[in-house]
Chains A and B, each alone.
Chain A
């Protein structure tokens, strides 16, 4: 009987891990091509959630799900064009400071516009309720989230592996100088990657809004988990991030099953263990930037 509940936690962990993916993938993409560790990634997640609350009032949840990431993507264009661009070849610490400062500014702006109190957001009526399969119960809304995550994952994989765009991006990650020699400007590709990255963060924000608090510090709250996933997976590795996200979800669920007080700490322990044996993360060896 105990085994059933453990399996339930493992399965749930796999599903939960999927949600970290959206954030971690964007973070990883921006780092891979631009070499920038985007500490303001959580801010775009929060803005996505707040826009979703506003847009849902007028367009419904489906409208918000599409439009909010697009609007945040537009913000991403400005972010890349006027801020990030100056920092690609600078000392990495400057990029860290820039994005860290930006995250704080964004949190204050949210507080000024919407106030500090959490905003209510609910699950769309069509997705309320549960699915029960045998002994396993799950919320319909989380299955919707899972669907969106898988669609995004497949989309990004196809984009990176089956298109000309993806080939240039992958080449740019490995050998930016060679790409330049071939006469390809990486700049527009970088803009696109930033838009895609922050758009994914916003998508995560829209999906989380109905099931977690929508408040100004939500970005900072979720960022730690996203970074842990990226570090465990290995910076710049697509499948590394995917595996790490699932692993973090499972380890957290299993820890809570046996020893709840260590629930949040378990992912840091996992990170410690992985880094001890693989200092670049599970699949992070392909990045040459730090050599």
Chain B
């Protein structure tokens, strides 16, 4: 998909300076000034933009490739949030303007992030699903001292070794997903003393997730008897399914990602193997793509459109009204991220990143469309929040093609602190 990338644009600030200084050498007085003025009007939108009273929001997420299906929901989610804010008069008396871009891959994401901040003057960057692109965007944001809110990258390392004062994580960490789903598996007696067979996406995300999964399973008395790496472009799982049948495990665990999950669920149903399945990461759209007939197992989610919280249901109603279908968890991520940033701007009465960071680090409560409010943890900027697990609904309760997942009670239990799911200081090497 690299063919759709664009060459990195020259930072506009430097290109305005270069011609104007050379002109001053050649021309004198008012003629030179007039020339500069003309240049500004004709070719340099950054200067025109600077006079605008709009607050620009930069959004980056993959729209093409194997994460594209989720990126579409991301854009829908943030567009709805922007529309709602503007309908109530914007923030600080100024309307929001959204600039959404296809991040494509890490190098394109990086150059587009640079352009959004420098030329378009975006006050904050939101988005991304690929952890590699997320890291690239974070580096640009940090260099420019502007905030980047990660809405879809799960990698532990992004909030660990690679953490940044300017990066906030609405998306849960891989470790959090593993603990959320692992809790349900422990309760159902699917880990202690059990033989697990793992299928793992063969790239940074999958390896990171497998590491977290192994740590949890081993600590709780289970073992991975076999774990197989699966190339991200694999579409046929039959050789893996034959291997699973050969290994006769107690549980089959997915550490897969993107379309792999859809293909795996469909073909697992097709082969009808008797071993229960579970996964340590899922996006609702991927399960929707597998369909009610094929969906099986226990999976973790940050959010699902049947979460009973009133705020969640208001969001779902608005989303269905605008797009004619329920929101996916990625749409939730962008919606919550944008609303949180707007809240910080309103509370700090400006768009100064330093003040907004301070506001969040003091533990400001954030509406995350769940029963309990969330807040960013000061030392790694991870959003502390409730998580969910889903499993197939009994066939008789399935109302439509979106509603075939039963949502278990949120974890951790209301009596436990939200911290219990997040990576601990031991698990997370972040120093801000």
Contact = CB atoms under 8 A, between A and B. Distances in A.
Contacts, number: 133
Most buried by A among B64, B228, B292: B64
Contact of B289 (A104, A130, A214, A224): A214
Contacts of A210: 266, 270
A260 B286 contact: no
Contacts of A265: 231
Contacts of B1: 217, 220
Interface stretch (B143-151, B237-245, B352-360): B237-245
B73 A117 contact: yes
B267 interface: yes
A182 B64 CA distance: 50
B272 A130 contact: yes
Given A137-B271, A212-B266, A9 B63 contact: no
Given A120-B401, A121-B291, A263-B231, A213 B266 contact: yes
A20 to B, nearest CB: 10
B66 A12 contact: no
Interface stretch (A60-68, A86-94, A250-258, A279-287): A250-258
Given A116-B63, A116-B71, A215-B259, A263 B293 contact: no
A211 B267 contact: yes
Most buried by A among B3, B71, B236, B290: B236
A252 B269 CA distance: 22
A115 B72 contact: yes
Nearest to A264: B231
Interface residues of B, number: 48
B171 interface: no
A12 B65 contact: no
A261 B229 contact: yes
Contact of A263 (B230, B286, B291): B230
B243 A120 contact: no
B175 to A, nearest CB: 24
B407 to A, nearest CB: 19
Given A129-B272, A256-B240, A263-B239, A217 B68 contact: yes
Given A213-B263, A221-B233, 20 more contacts: A12-B238, A12-B239, A116-B68, A116-B69, A120-B292, A120-B294, A129-B272, A139-B270, A142-B238, A210-B266, A210-B270, A211-B270, A213-B266, A215-B259, A216-B68, A217-B65, A217-B68, A256-B240, A260-B240, A261-B228
Interface of A: 5, 8-9, 12-13, 16, 19, 104, 111, 115-123, 129-130, 137, 139, 141-142, 208, 210-217, 220-222, 224, 252-253, 256-257, 260-261, 263-265
Which 10 pairs between the two chains have the least Cβ-Cβ distance? A118-B289, A120-B291, A264-B231, A116-B72, A256-B239, A213-B262, A260-B228, A122-B293, A261-B229, A117-B285
